[in-house]
Amino acid sequence: MSTTAKTRLADLARAAGVSTATVSRVLNAKPGVRQDTRDAVHAAAVALGYPLDKPVRRPGSVAIMTGELSNPSFAAFAEMVDTLLYSKGIPNFVCPAGPSGTSEEQHLEALLGHDLAGIVSISGMPANNTLSLEPYQRVIARGIPTVFINSPSPDLDAGFFSCSDIAAVTSSVDHLRSLGHTRIGLAVGPERFLPARRKVAAFEGLGLAGASIQMTNFTAEGGQVAAGRLIESDHTAIICGSDLMALGAIREARSRGLEVPRDLSVVGFDDSPLMAFTDPALTTVRQPVRAMCEAAVSALLRALDGTPLDRTEVLFHPDLIIRRSTAPAP
Amino acid sequence: MSTTAKTRLADLARAAGVSTATVSRVLNAKPGVRQDTRDAVHAAAVALGYPLDKPVRRPGSVAIMTGELSNPSFAAFAEMVDTLLYSKGIPNFVCPAGPSGTSEEQHLEALLGHDLAGIVSISGMPANNTLSLEPYQRVIARGIPTVFINSPSPDLDAGFFSCSDIAAVTSSVDHLRSLGHTRIGLAVGPERFLPARRKVAAFEGLGLAGASIQMTNFTAEGGQVAAGRLIESDHTAIICGSDLMALGAIREARSRGLEVPRDLSVVGFDDSPLMAFTDPALTTVRQPVRAMCEAAVSALLRALDGTPLDRTEVLFHPDLIIRRSTAPAP
C-alpha cells in the first residue's frame, strides 16, 4: 500500500471516528461492518474531498420484495430472481407481502438493520397509488440500488422493468375478435393498481365499452364476482387481469350451468405455473418472466458496481398462449 | 435502577469490553447490537456468575427456510408461517432453496451475519439424508431456536412438526380399495428424502408390493415417469407423493390415451392451492398447514422466551379430500 493510501486511511479513520482497519473493510466492501459505520466512512470521504478511486460495492444480501406467495406468478418471479442472483454469487432472501401477513412497508422497516446490498421489488408498492413511496425513497436515499418489476414510478430514482399491459390486452382482444366475439368483457383488480388502470386504458383504446369493465380483485374470488356481472350483461368472452381471476371466472360460469369455452371464452394473464393443468387448460398471456428478471438483475448488478440506474421504464412484450379456454363465439 | 443493577452493568461492560449502554441494550433485547457483541455480553454474564434475571429474547428477524417456491405447497406453508409471525409482531423473511438457486446451506451461511431471532425450516435439510446437519448444528449452537416442519432429525436440538405419512398413505389406500382397486402403485420422490421413505414403509406395511413402488422425483416430470412405469405394469390407481407428481401422472395417462379417472385413478398429496381447479379436480391428501404452522410457531415463540424446545416429533393427521381424479376400478 502506498504512503498516500495509508495517509488517506488514517485521515478517513480519524474523520469517521473508526479504526483504519474498519475504513479498509468499508472501502473494500468487506462484510461485518454496520451500515451506519459504512455511511460515516463514505461521508468522511466526501467531506475530505477524497474521491473513492473505485465504486464501492455494498456487501450484504439482496432483498426480493414480492406480493403474496399464494399467487404462483409472484412465486415464479421471486424464484427466477433468486436463480439469477445465485448464479452471480449474491446472497438473497424473499420478503413476501400478503393481505394477512407482513406488509412490504414493514419488511422495508425491518430491513434497515440488515446489511443490504440492493432490492428487487416485484409488483411492489409503487404499483398501488394509495401507498406512500416514502419507505422506498428512504432506502434509495441510503444508496441501496433498487429495481422494480411491474411497479414503475416517475418519483423514484430506480430501474423499472414491466410487462406491457397494452400488448397483453391487444393480443387478447385480437384473439377473441378473430373467434367472432363482439361482447368482450374485462375483469381486473381495483383501480388503485397501475396494471389494472393500464389494462382498462388499453381496453378502451381498442374501442371497447367502459360498461364491459369490472374492477374487483386479482384473486379467484374477484374473478367470480366480475364474471357473474359480465355474464349477466351478455358477454361471451372475458379477459382477466390474472390467471387466478380466470380460474374464478370459469368456476362462476360453471356454477351458472355454462360450459367453458363452448358458452364463454376466458383469457388469463401471467401464464403462471400449472395453468396447463387447469380445467380447461387456460388460454393466457405469458409474461416473459426470465427476460424481465434478467434485465432487472443485470441493471441491479451494474448499479452495485457503480453504474447509475436508468429511470426509463423498460417494457416487455408478452406472448398469448392459446390453450383450451377460448373458442368461437356461441 | 438499583445500585446493584448499575454495578452489574458496569462489571459486565468491563468484562465484555463494551459500554454499559450496550450491555443494557443486550439485556433488554434491543436491536442494533451485533450478534458477536451480544454473545460476548452473555459469555461475560456466565463467567461472572451473574444469573440473568429474565430470559433474554433475541431481537431480530425469524428466517423461514423453505423448498422451491414453484411448489405451491412450500409457498403455502411459508405464507402461513409469515401470517402467524406477523400476528405476533415478529419480522421475518423467506429463504427459498431451489435446484437452480441458492441452497439452504448457502442461505444459512449468509444468515450468520444477520440479527437472527429464530428459524422455521419447512421440509429442510434434515429431510434429506445425504446432507450434513452441520449448518443447522452451528446455528442451534449459537442459541438460535429452530423448529422444523416435515423434516425431523434425532440429532438436532430443535422442535419438530410433521404430517403423518402413515396416515396419508393409509387413507389413500383405504379409499382406493373401497373403489375396488387392487393394482395400486406408489409414486414418490427419491430414497434420500424421509417423506419418501416413510410413505414407502407405510405402503409396504399395508401389504402392498415393493414392485408397485416407483421412486423418481417430487415434480410433475417425476410423476410422469413413475406413472408410465406403473401403467405399463397394469396398475389401475396411483398414489403420489406430491400434487405436482399427480398432475404429471394424469398428463402421462392422457398421453397414452387413458382417461382419468375412468381408466386410472390418481391421488395427490398436499392439497396445495389450485388443486380444485385442475383437470380433473384432484383427489388428494390435505396437510393441515395451519395447525402445523401454529404448533411450530408457538413452540418457537416459547423458545424465544426461554422455554426449551421439546425434541419429540409432533405428528399431524391429514385429511383425504375426495374430488374427481378417483373412481371405481375399471
Give tens-digit pLDDT for B89-104. 899 999 999 888 999 9
pLDDT, one tens digit per residue, over B163-212 is 999 999 999 999 999 999 999 999 999 999 999 999 999 999 999 999 99
pLDDT, one tens digit per residue, over A301-313 is 999 988 999 999 9
- For domain B165-287, the question of CATH label 3.40.50.2300 is answered with yes
The per-residue pLDDT for B317 is: 98
| Domains A61-163+288-316 and A165-287 are alike in CATH topology | yes
Least Cα distance to B96 among B73, B115, B114, B117 occurs for: B73
ipTM of the complex: 0.81
pLDDT above 50: residue A55: no
pLDDT band with cut points at 50, 70 and 90 for residue B236 = very high
pLDDT band with cut points at 50, 70 and 90 for residue A258 = very high
Minimum mean pLDDT among A102-111, A196-205, B246-255, B256-265: which range?
Answer: A102-111
Scan residues 33-72 of A and list those with Cβ closer than 8 Å to B: 34, 60-61, 63, 68-70, 72
Contact B161, B296 (CB under 8 A): yes
pLDDT above 80: residue B217: yes
Q: Which CATH number applies to A61-163+288-316?
A: 3.40.50.2300
Q: What is the mean pLDDT of residues B293-313?
A: 96
The per-residue pLDDT for B23 is: 83
Q: In Å, how far is B31's CA from the nearest CA of chain A?
A: 8
The per-residue pLDDT for B243 is: 97
% chain A with pLDDT above 70: 93
The per-residue pLDDT for B129 is: 95
pLDDT above 80: residue A29: no
pLDDT band with cut points at 50, 70 and 90 for residue A237 = very high
Query: Can you tell me the distance from the alpha carbon of B330 to that of B226, in angstroms, rounded to the nearest whole number?
Result: 20
pTM: 0.83
The answer to whether B83 contacts A95, with C-beta atoms less than 8 Å apart, is no
Counted across chains A and B, CB pairs separated by less than 8 A come out at: 131
pLDDT, one tens digit per residue, over B19-49 is 888 887 777 766 566 667 777 887 888 788 7
Spell out the alpha helix ranges (H) of A48-92.
72-87
Query: Can you tell me the distance from the alpha carbon of A143 to that of A77, in angstroms, rounded to the nearest whole number?
Result: 24
- Among B73, B84, B85, B102, most A C-beta atoms within 10 A, so best to mutate, is B102
Scan residues 271-290 of B and list those with Cβ closer than 8 Å to A: 273-274, 277-281
Q: Where are the domains of chain A?
A: 3-47, 61-163+288-316, 165-287
pLDDT band with cut points at 50, 70 and 90 for residue B6 = confident
The per-residue pLDDT for A8 is: 80
In degrees to the nearest 10, what's the CA dihedral of A21, A27, A32, A33?
80
Q: What is the mean pLDDT of chain A?
A: 92
Q: What is the mean pLDDT of residues A172-198?
A: 98
pLDDT above 50: residue B55: no
Nearest to A102 among B72, B86, B107 (CB): B86
A247 touches chain B (CB under 8 A): yes
Q: How far is CA A43 from CA A12, A38, A69, A296, B186, in A?
A: 9, 9, 39, 29, 63
The per-residue pLDDT for A24 is: 79
Q: What is the mean pLDDT of residues B50-54?
A: 59
pLDDT, one tens digit per residue, over B104-136 is 999 999 888 777 999 999 999 999 999 999 999
DSSP B178-189: HTT--SEEEEE-
The per-residue pLDDT for A41 is: 82
